[in-house]
Structure 1
Amino acid sequence: MLIIPVKEGENIDRALKRFKRKFDRTGKMRQLRKRQQFTKPSVVRRQQIQKAQYIQRLRDAEDV
């Protein structure tokens, strides 16, 4: 459970922004979305390889 202490005289918008930032850092929403659909480990590995190849191509193009 996230606890965000609100300081005396602090704007509620600032406290809400701190809460959202802290919640985003926990990664709960990403984990929830990932669990909604199962992907086979082989597919995950293939996607990682394709992403690495894409990044490598970008770096190679940058060096030229």
Structure 2
Amino acid sequence: MPFINIKTPEGALNRAQKEEIVHRATNLLVEYFSEAARPHTMVLIEEVKDGGYGRADEVFILPEAYRAKD
């Protein structure tokens, strides 16, 4: 089963954006593995809470300007 795991800051994507990512990611794998892969493709979008990720000793908080608008 093809599997894609996407981690994103909590609140960065709205429902429609998540649905689009699932659809487009599935289509991408179907291009490589054939249409037979579609019913078996899993796309998992994990939302990481603010302060739960960082880089080079900097803990990230999602700025308000980048939060999803519903």
After TM superposition, the score normalised by the length of structure 1 is: 0.37
More strand per residue: 2
Please identify the structure whose Cα radius of gyration is greater.
Answer: 1
Whose RCO is larger (CA < 8 A, sep 6+)?
A: 2
After TM superposition, the score normalised by the length of structure 2 is: 0.34
More helix per residue: 1
